[in-house]
Amino acid sequence: MKRTNFILTFLLSVLIFACSTQPAVKLPVAEKIPHDVFDKRIDNYFWLRLSDEQKNAPSPDEQAQKVIKYLNDENEYTKAVLKSIDVLQKKVFDEIVGRIKKDDSSVPYLKNGYYYYNKFTEGNEYPVYYRRKGSPDAPEEIILDVNKIAEGKEYCSVAGLSVSRDNKILAYGTDFVSRRRYTINFLNLETGTHLPDKIENTTGQAIWAADGKTLFYVDRDIETLRAGKIFKHKLGSNENTLVYSEEDETYSVYLQESRSERYIFINSSQTLATEVRYLEIAKPDAAIKLFEPRKVNHEYNVDHLGNMFYIRTNADSSPNFKLMTTPEGKTAYSNWTDIIPHRSDVLFENFELFDNYLVAEERIKGLTNLKIIRNSDKSEHYLDFGEETYMAGISINPEPDTEILRFSYSSLTTPNSVIDYNMSSKEKKIMKEEEVLGGFDKNNYESKRLWAKAGDGTMVPVSIVYRKGFVQDGKSPLLLYAYGSYGSSTDAGFRSAILSLLDRGFVFALAHVRGGSEMGRFWYEDGKLLKKINTFTDFNDCAQFLVDQKYTGTGKLFAMGGSAGGLLMGAIVNMKPELYKGVIAAVPFVDVVSTMLDETIPLTTFEWDEWGDPRKKEYYDYMLSYSPYDQVKPVNYPNLLVTTGFWDSQVQYWEPAKWVAKLRDMKTDNNMLVMDVNMSAGHGGASGRFERYRVTALEYTFIIDLAGIKE
């Protein structure tokens, strides 16, 4: 930074504090206590880490008191620094929640003789779940009111609602801490009373056997939170029988019910391989069977309808996956037959089975396409979505005996929609388009798809939206968002909260960087392990492209990412801090090396194939070269807002806390560095329908103010 800019920044920061009506709050400075993490790699802020035992203790010990005080000091400092934008923050929050319809309901779907749906009502943060027997016009039955469950709780998550096959018992999971450790509860839907049965430390997922008394569930390890065991529970007893234990710590397990409702699949998965076991729903006490033994680099998942198994697989050098089938009783790979072959330019992502149709969800040139295949004559056609960039996918379709496909659709300008499509007549019926209040008109906005050239010549797609009337002269502020990990694609779906930026003259853009799967499996492979740097350089190249094309300009560019996208934020500001005016790092995964070295931390062991195993020098050195915490330098950084949750189970709070402490110690500028720590929430933030937007309002106001916009 030039000296004149440095002086101006310094004077501005002084002025902000001078104008505050609150007493100045001391800048939090974390004590340095050297700790050898591994191979003489010293971590001065390792002491900020607390164990679950320390966090849950009735009386915090000395270290816990010290850590909690430091985190609270950070929160107080953030409040003081951002005091001048309190009014604007409230205004933005009111705008965001004001666009949300308070009395709203989902589109009902039919399952096992009942129509299921949920409703939100004004004044409540959580949904109420309902059903109607036999007809959408039948009397309404409340099956679960989450608002009552959440009463008196700072955090409440309800997951895994599952009704027994005789329609009498509801199983559901509750988490009041935000550590993803759910307790499964049982509610008698005929009497409205809870059964005494409770199952603790689960993923919340449960599948009923045909007898209506036996339930299969996934156990979660108390320390690592790994989902590694399948148990069977008999209602009315203390009987919890181990069905399957996954001994390989790099794998986790989950359950799946077949489309035919005849089988339960036990899926063991890790980054590079999967293995499926199965049992008949009508025979809950029978032995489970192996579908196909695991092999390195073989990923597959299975479904069933009629008398056939359908397998999505990357076998036979099919990185973009293909669809195969095999008859019942012949699950060995030698019996599998191709029905949708592998294609090098099409990523086969998902499928849905109907009695007379097969629906394939495919990603072509970065966009999701739905292909309808008629079983009788193998004729096929694609749905036409009519927009340049969008998000679409198969929705809830519980009944296979239908010609109606329900799918979801939205774009950067089109609100979330639920659409029923007649696969025979090709007629579409919009069952619901999200109502956006506050005078929203999608015709006031425009979106397009751009292509930015990365440093190695790779063309990276960028989705962009702005309010009509936008002038491409480099004077508009722009927020660039990306994720870019785990092969997870970032689609250009509708985000009503973004309107608070667009209506103030911002441009919003999504960089579909390598590490996701937008352009196919190779896109993912080219942004992981020893190619992870591509994710970061892609983002910076997209940012520079948007500046060069005058969608924004120097001093007006902002960046945002969360979780693994927060790692992306940490990396880009170490690489090119001068490119950004401000950066929002939400629950950021920034201490990559330490976390990947510690097998007791949730997610570590089965992510070695994503990031690398740092116990091996090649990976250790490579990860160290980009790990944001390790690469903090004595340079000028952009304005930074960092968020985290004290109970975060996916990115532990101490990662962003240590990163902020180190940045404070080393950075050479006077730009803002603030951290918001939610002391009662985890990775997903607050659990309420509206409360979660308080952090969104804080994030948006942070960059609105930096852009010089005061209203």
Give the CA radius of gyration of the chain.
26
Summarize pLDDT for 42-54 with one digit per residue, the tens: 999 999 999 888 9
Annotated active-site residue in 563, 594, 627, 687:
563
What's the pLDDT at 4?
35
Dist CA 9 CA 15 (whole Å): 10
Dist CA 162 CA 55 (whole Å): 32
* Ramachandran assignment for 444, one of left (phi > 0), alpha (psi -120 to 50 degrees), beta (any other): alpha
Instruction: Tell me the domains of the chain and their CATH numbers.
Output: 3-98+444-706 (3.40.50.1820)
Nearest-CA neighbor of 320 among 278, 289, 287, 362? 362
Summarize pLDDT for 276-334 with one digit per residue, the tens: 999 999 999 999 999 999 999 999 999 999 999 999 999 999 999 999 999 999 999 99
What's the pLDDT at 52?
82
* Regions of the chain short of the pLDDT cut 50: 1-23
Annotated active-site residue in 303, 538, 648, 676:
648
What's the pLDDT at 26?
84
Torsion sign across C-alpha atoms 46, 49, 54, 60: positive
Burial of 636 (0-12, 13-18, 19+ CB in 10 A): middle
Structure tokens at 476: 């508009």
Summarize pLDDT for 523-532 with one digit per residue, the tens: 999 999 999 9
Structure tokens at 69: 């005080």
Report how far apart, in Å, the C-alpha atoms of 108 and of each of 140, 158, 432, 600 are: 12, 19, 11, 42
Dist CA 564 CA 677 (whole Å): 18
Dist CA 595 CA 603 (whole Å): 9
What's the pLDDT at 274?
96
Residue with tokens 């532990």: 652
Strand order in the sheet with 380-382: 346-353, 357-364, 367-374, 380-382
Dist CA 598 CA 596 (whole Å): 6
Dist CA 567 CA 656 (whole Å): 10
What's the pLDDT at 37?
85
Note whether 367 and 79 are within 8 A (CB): no
To 10 degrees, the CA torsion angle through 256, 259, 261, 262? -90
**C-alpha count within 13 angstroms, C-beta hemisphere, residue 577:** 19
DSSP strand pairing (673-678 vs 639-645): parallel
What's the pLDDT at 603?
65
What's the pLDDT at 18?
37
Numbers of helices and strands, H then E, in the chain: 14, 38
What residue type is 134 in one-letter code? G
In the annotation, is 648 catalytic?
A: yes
In the annotation, is 683 catalytic?
A: yes
Torsion sign across C-alpha atoms 9, 15, 18, 19: negative
Helix (H) or strand (E) holding 218: strand 214-220
Specify the length of the chain in residues: 711
Cα 183 to the center of its chain, rounded Å: 22
Note whether 89 and 82 are within 8 A (CB): yes
**Phi, psi at 412, each rounded to 5°:** -65, -15
Instruction: Using DSSP, state whether 584 is helix, strand or coil.
Output: strand
Nearest-CA neighbor of 257 among 285, 286, 219, 217? 217
**C-alpha count within 13 angstroms, C-beta hemisphere, residue 38:** 14
